[in-house]
Structure 1
């Protein structure tokens, strides 16, 4: 399975066959030079979902971007005037009060249902977020990625704008990830279970190595640009791949 990370986030010259989910994280981390990139990603998506308080930042910060198609969540974070504003703009409001799932998990299910009902072709989902937040929220986001492996075949990418990209690699297939010479780090972190992992194209490769919490996890690894143009990964269990996406 081939992965081209820069193509995933480069939406300027591609068909808009992707969806965007904006999580409830502050967008204050976005520098002015990154705002146009946000607008390109958000405005060109086929489906746009704001999760709960994520709509606050659309209303307050990105006033010239397109409205979301859907706002979903248990609505404990969205400000009442913001919710009312988008209602008046005929944005679809879907309340998901179930506290046994996170708003992100429920938003993915809302998205998949919307795709199935509209017959829109979507080949990837970009999940916009900020890593500046609570560690339990970050862990729950990764847990949703893991859970959704059995729910949809559409890849979900966590994208911290012009900072990093993360997604789950499925087991039992060789993954070939295009290297980027400007990337300074990458990582392989097990999720769910311990993994037996073999790689090539990294500075510190793994040869049928067990990765698990309590033993080894492969963080702060690097690409071997001198000898390889891609990284190959084979794992027997799902694993989280992350890499930095350098400034353009």
Structure 2
């Protein structure tokens, strides 16, 4: 797999490659084609290099004897961003970097699977950037993003949709879902909106008043 940068303008989402389970070559190729900037977290760099992907930024704390200069020689011109802060994950640091570069959107792959702790943290921590950066986490079976407080989208009947609260989310009302919500509250660990689905072909609408709510579009 080769390079990227077949882009229209700087409004196209950047791409972050984390170090979870790999996605299909097809999904990876689709995202690379339209990404103006590809960031790889240090722990994934060797795997990415094996796929022949052109990388723009290598980011991480470079611990455990990691040598970023080795990759600079092979990926010139490669920007190396050292982020030693241990209070944030590498994915959060990559999002901070994109905000500093005035990016408004990013797709993230290889952020799920493998270690469960990394998967849960990667998915839930994206709410921290909801006012700064539109983040979409993708794998071969799902697409995850933070819902705005009012959301509408057309879905085919039967499309699996899960609504996952980060903490407590109140005042949730929906239309055109199989299991409707009417001013309901969802609480992580107690009641979530997992495994719902679009009732008919048409617009699904979701509104809520307080909290952080994740949408998971799933592909079985």
Tell me the TM-score range normalised by the shorter chain. Answer: 0.7 to 0.9
TM, length-normalised to structure 1:
0.76
Q: Within 5 Å, give how 1:92-241 maps onto structure 2.
A: 92-114=79-101, 116=102, 124-150=105-131, 152=132, 154-160=133-139, 162-171=140-149, 174-181=150-157, 183=159, 185-225=160-200, 228-236=201-209, 237-241=211-215
| Number of residue equivalences | 211
Gaps of 5+ in 1: 1-12, 117-121
TM, length-normalised to structure 2:
0.85
Q: Secondary structure at the match of 1:126?
A: strand
RMSD in angstroms over aligned alpha carbons? 2.5
Gaps of 5+ in 2: 1-5
CA distance in 1, matches of 2:106, 2:177: 27
| Corresponding residue for residue 48 of structure 1 | 38
Runs of 4+ residues over 4 Å off in structure 1: none
Q: Is the 8 A contact 2:158 2:198 kept in 1?
A: no
CA distance in 1, matches of 2:40, 2:157: 33
CA spacing shift, 1:170–1:54, aligned 2, 3 Å: same
CA spacing shift, 1:105–1:177, aligned 2, 3 Å: same
CA spacing shift, 1:211–1:95, aligned 2, 3 Å: same
Q: Is the 8 A contact 1:73 1:97 kept in 2?
A: yes
**1:84 shift after superposition:** 3.2
Q: Secondary structure at the match of 1:53?
A: helix
| Corresponding residue for residue 218 of structure 2 | 244
Structure 1 residues 172-206: Cα deviation after superposition (integer angstroms, max 9, x where no partner): xx2002214573x2100111333221111111111
CA distance in 2, matches of 1:163, 1:91: 31
Q: Secondary structure at the match of 2:164?
A: strand
CA distance in 2, matches of 1:93, 1:22: 15
**1:165 shift after superposition:** 0.3
**1:76 shift after superposition:** 3.4
Q: Is the 8 A contact 2:169 2:208 kept in 1?
A: no
Q: Is the 8 A contact 1:19 1:48 kept in 2?
A: yes
| Corresponding residue for residue 25 of structure 1 | 20
The structure where strand makes up a greater share of residues is: 2
CA spacing shift, 1:45–1:210, aligned 2, 3 Å: same
- Determine whether 1:72 maps to 2:43: no
**1:130 shift after superposition:** 4.7
Structure 1 residues 62-97: Cα deviation after superposition (integer angstroms, max 9, x where no partner): 12x3x21111111237953xx334211221000101
